Amino acid sequence: MASLKDDDWENEPDPKYQAVAKDPEVSQKETSTSAHTVPLTEYEGLQAELSAVQHKAQEQWDLAVRMRAEMENLRRRSERDVENAHKYGTDKFAAELLPVIDSLEKALENAKGDDPAIQAMSEGLQLTLKMFESALNKFGMTQIDPQGQLFDPMKHEALSMLPNDTVAPNTVLHVVQRGYQIHDRLLRPARVVVSKANEG
C-alpha cells in the first residue's frame, strides 16, 4: 500500500471534498447564509410606514382617552341630575302651595276673640297649618322667618326701610310675608321691613 506524502495532501485534496465544494447547491446555501443588507430606499420606506402607524395609534389612543373622559363626565352629570330630581322634583308643586299656607296664616291672624266658636276655629287652623308645614318639611321644605336678623339679600326682599336707633342698621324689623326654601333652593324670599340709621 503506497503511503501519502505531506505534499500529496496539499496538492491532491480528497475528491469527496472537492465535489462538495464544486456543488452549485452548496455554494447557493453558503451565499444565502451570508450577511444580508437592506437597500437604503427600502429601509427609509419601512421607517416612514412605521412612523405613520405610530401616529395613527397615538390618534386612536387620544380619541379613546377623550371618549372615556366624556363618558365619565356624562355619568357624573346623570348622577347629579338624578340627585337634583329627587331633591327638587317637588319645588314647583311646593311653590303652588305657598298661597294656601299664606291664606291659612291670614285666617289665623283674623281668628281672634273671646267667642268659643272663634277660638275653636283658631285651634283648628293652627292644627291644620302645623300638619301642612310638617308634611312639606318631610320633602325638604323649610320656612324663612328672619325676624330680628340681619337683612340677607339672597333670602330676603326689602319692601321698605324705617329709621331705628334701637337696632343695628339693616336689621329685619318686621316680616310681612315669610319666605320658603326647598333644601338649599329658594322658593320665595321673605318680604321684610328693614331698619336704617336716623339721618341727622
8-67 residue pLDDT tens: 545 555 554 454 444 555 445 444 444 456 567 777 778 888 888 999 999 999 999 999
> CA-to-CA distance for 3 and 107, rounded, in angstroms?
145
| Domain ranges (residues) in the chain | 42-88, 91-196
Report yes or no: 196 and 160 within 8 Å, Cβ to Cβ.
no
Pairing of strands 172-177, 185-188: unpaired
DSSP bridge partners of 177: 191
147-191 residue pLDDT tens: 999 999 999 999 999 999 899 999 999 999 999 999 888 999 999
Whole-structure pTM value: 0.58
Q: Give the CATH number of domain 91-196; options: 2.30.22.10, 1.20.1300.10, 3.10.25.10, 3.30.1540.20.
A: 2.30.22.10
